[in-house]
Structure 1
């Protein structure tokens, strides 16, 4: 055997070993957390996805998963997390009924599956035939499904252009995008409560080692008594430094004043002292709950120190 032939064989063997080992290691690594991300990215906020992708190891990912569902637990004092259970039920449902013979084939990656996972079952669902223009400008018969969500005031139209069981949402409008952003935080909510409660809104900022939360009065439910009015809040705070969670806390804030004083204010200001010790990029994940109405909301604040 010549020297050149020997080198070629060695190179081929080395390439074969790398090809056999590297991809397998990648596929088998952290199947639990990878499966979690594949599905929950549907309901993740952009900042959450960014944090998750930068987590250094399995332990950090498991801690993230625990906190991810904790933040979405509508009844934290009980063993069951209705949001998590409802999410898993919807994933199972769409994987059974909305599979399509394209891409991965998984139901929760189809247009109908994504909408169902995010918004739940429509109040009305009808199927039928319609028509659309093909690329040559000619009318073409298509299959269609119409989904109606009364609470979100949405009418969604899914079109199967080739009658192969592959449905595409015709229009992603702003009303749908707003509904999706709201649903990412609260998948499970009782219908009657959803109609009664106005979505709590607040604006966070950070200045002079204080987290400042401004809540418009019109979004607050007050406890009114003879001697004045009061409001009660619970705040859950998760703090990340350079994409790594460094702290978390739960605090309560009570605000009391005369009725006249509240009427003359547009906002209530809540403050939480917090000292930043290390330079870098910070992410504050903030959940504020109005303890009187039960309404809650969530905001992310990026801060460079």
Structure 2
């Protein structure tokens, strides 16, 4: 009986949501469709719960909140957004704005450089496009030779920037804005440092991307005495094929640090030499 009730409740909820969407006017449905890349989840939920009059006011306020210069009659953000939709359709065909290339073009603007490989970059490769925004590549691949290019995960940094750009629509990447951060775990005599790729600023040379991570590790016992210390640099280097095939959102640094039973404080400091961003953390552990 409980399962039937839950199922009925879920069905009623979904039906209600569908009914709300079906009650939208053509103009309101068009609005939701066009702003799919920049409307937040909460904004959409709020919009669907409003009365017709309130929805009209919502649409006006939606664009006002994004107007970078509210003192002028023009809404530069709105004008640029719809201009990019039109340009995406011209560049990538009918409804090109709904494809991955169109989405990125709308959110980030024209790339500083664009390279197309309609037959792939080498024998056996898929059709590929590589867009550059500053130092960072965004790669699209047509896996089915259909003319529809899909966005690849890359180093996840680009994906993070796309999410950020939903609010800013900034066309440029600035390395100085990327601040390194990391997580720490100690298990079975191994210290693991987990760094999100999206927070690793890279330099570009030819078709390779690289940086150097400087790492300082200090381990102190309960008396405050240093029982382990290590300092060194790690070179991270990727070519385009490696970037295309990155699966994990993290890069891992592992250090073997055998410790006896007791309580310790581990101090870790990382510094990215590409943009000199640094982060220091303290981790307390107990070996039993």
Q: What TM-score do the two structures reach when normalised by structure 2? A: 0.48
Q: What TM-score do the two structures reach when normalised by structure 1? A: 0.46
